[in-house]
Amino acid sequence: MTTTNPLAFLGEQLNAWREAGTYQQLRILESECAAEASFDGKDVINLASNNYLGLTTHPKLIEASVAAARAYGAGSGAVRTISGTMTLHMRLEERIARFKNVEACVVFQSGFAANAGTVSAILTPEDHIVSDSLNHASIIDGCRLSKAKIHVFQHKDHVAAERILGELAGKSGRKLLITDGVFSMDGDIAPLPELVSAAEKHGAIMMVDDAHSSGVLGRNGRGTVDHFNLHGRVDIQVGTLSKAIGVLGGYVCGSRNLIEFLYQRARPFLFSTSHPPAVAAACLAAFDVLEKEPERIENLWKNTRYLKAGLMDAGFDTGMSETPITPVMVGEAAQAFAFSRALFEDGVLATGIGFPTVPEGKARVRTIVAATHTTPQLDRAIEVFAKVGKRLGIIK
């Protein structure tokens, strides 16, 4: 009897990706996540982590997580709504709400869960979502899960967003206007003041995902709402605890009723176990650090300016970036992955990104600088970029 493997298509697809040069090999981190770290047996300058402020290895966070594990154990034992809500979880939510100057906050297991869980909980198939074309995958998935009608506007085109809201004015159903605060692949900032005005004018719910702005933009890293001084005018603020905060998780900030509603209906909150105590405790410590060590954020922006200027002086196209995320535009995906591999051989880790993460023809190598990079490290990184970029014909 001959049996055919019903999963044979997986191997065929993998081979096709390998041949096209777009197969992504996982890099294995063998040290702590630091400005210079060991991947695959090689010490490299790490321009590929979201550890903007170096908090993954901050002694205060490590001590807090160890102490919490000793006091409360390794796990929480249940989902939040059954018996997995610990004092630490409540303290963290109160701490974030105070920090963000909002009524209330709910913490999810990840930023992905926060976005997907929130959009799908508050909207129904009768409703409408107006969404930036470059919004994060977790927003897109949340929109799809809600089954609401999705209207995509061109990246950052707030005039188009407002026009769509105008066209929807006569239609029934709720309207949600949703955007990333900082866009993860391009490092540009959403036109939030204009979007907020459009939402207000048309009675839409305004939601912003501040994953890459938490700890980066605004006073002490309070995010884009603070950066643009839009307090009280954005209904739903999402943030992540996994990037600049250095740990793991996502949160939603807004009115008490919004948070109570999500406690009742957000599916990741109801059906997936809460954070271990060590995670909640480390996040709590991180917010203290944000308030007590503002020099970290100052350093982050100083390094951002330095690396960006260096890459641009070398002749690279750094796209639309306005933040510590600086893409180096390449074009074809295979070329971006080849560039990334060659950089790695010369001691710099920067991620190659191609379709479907970014549009076809817009492949790039993405750099993310941290507060903890030293000037000599950045000089070395710029030198390697220039040398390898010339060799591969990306710059002249």
Ligand X SMILES: *Cc1c(COP(=O)(O)O)cnc(C)c1O
Kindly tell me which of 54 and 181 has the beta carbon lying closer to ligand X: 181
Which single residue is written with the structure tokens 């990334």?
340
Kindly tell me which of 246 and 389 has the beta carbon lying closer to ligand X: 246
**Contact residues: ligand X, CB under 6 A:** 110-112, 115, 136, 138, 180, 184, 209, 211-212, 240, 242, 250
Which one from 243, 308, 362, 373 is the annotated catalytic residue?
243
Instruction: Quote the CA–CA distance of 326 and 304 in Å, as a whole number.
Output: 8
Kindly tell me which of 240 and 304 has the beta carbon lying closer to ligand X: 240
Task: Please report how close the Cβ of residue 132 comes to ligand X at its closest, in angstroms.
Answer: 11
Which one from 110, 120, 138, 184 is the annotated catalytic residue?
184
The single-letter DSSP state of residue 252 is E
φ/ψ of residue 55, rounded to 5: -75, -15
Task: Please report how close the Cβ of residue 241 comes to ligand X at its closest, in angstroms.
Answer: 7
Which one from 100, 156, 158, 212 is the annotated catalytic residue?
212
Helix, strand, coil shares of the chain, percent, nearest 5, are 45, 15, 40
171-203 burial by CB neighbour count: b if 16+ within 10 A, else e?
Answer: eeeebbbbbbbbbbbbbbbbbbebbbbbbeebe
Give start and end residues of each alpha helix (H) in 314-374: 333-345
Active site residue 65: no
Which single residue is written with the structure tokens 């990306």?
394
Task: Please report how close the Cβ of residue 84 comes to ligand X at its closest, in angstroms.
Answer: 19
Q: How many CB atoms lie within 10 A of CB 358?
A: 20
Nearest-CB residue to ligand X? 111
Task: Please report how close the Cβ of residue 344 comes to ligand X at its closest, in angstroms.
Answer: 22
Exposed / middle / buried, residue 106 (Cβ in 10 Å: 0-12, 13-18, 19+): buried
Joined tokens for residue 198? 């459009």
Euclidean distance between the first and final Cα of the chain, in Å? 60
**What is the Cα 192 distance to its own chain's centre?**
17
Active site residue 243: yes
Task: Please report how close the Cβ of residue 180 comes to ligand X at its closest, in angstroms.
Answer: 5
Kindly tell me which of 139 and 338 has the beta carbon lying closer to ligand X: 139
83-98 burial by CB neighbour count: b if 16+ within 10 A, else e?
Answer: ebbbebbeebbebbbe
Kindly tell me which of 225 and 394 has the beta carbon lying closer to ligand X: 225
Task: Please report how close the Cβ of residue 223 comes to ligand X at its closest, in angstroms.
Answer: 12
Kindly tell me which of 223 and 310 has the beta carbon lying closer to ligand X: 223
Task: Please report how close the Cβ of residue 93 comes to ligand X at its closest, in angstroms.
Answer: 16
Question: In the chain, what's the furthest Cα-to-Cα distance?
Answer: 70
What sign does the CA torsion over 208, 159, 202, 143 have? negative
Positions marked active-site: 184, 212, 243
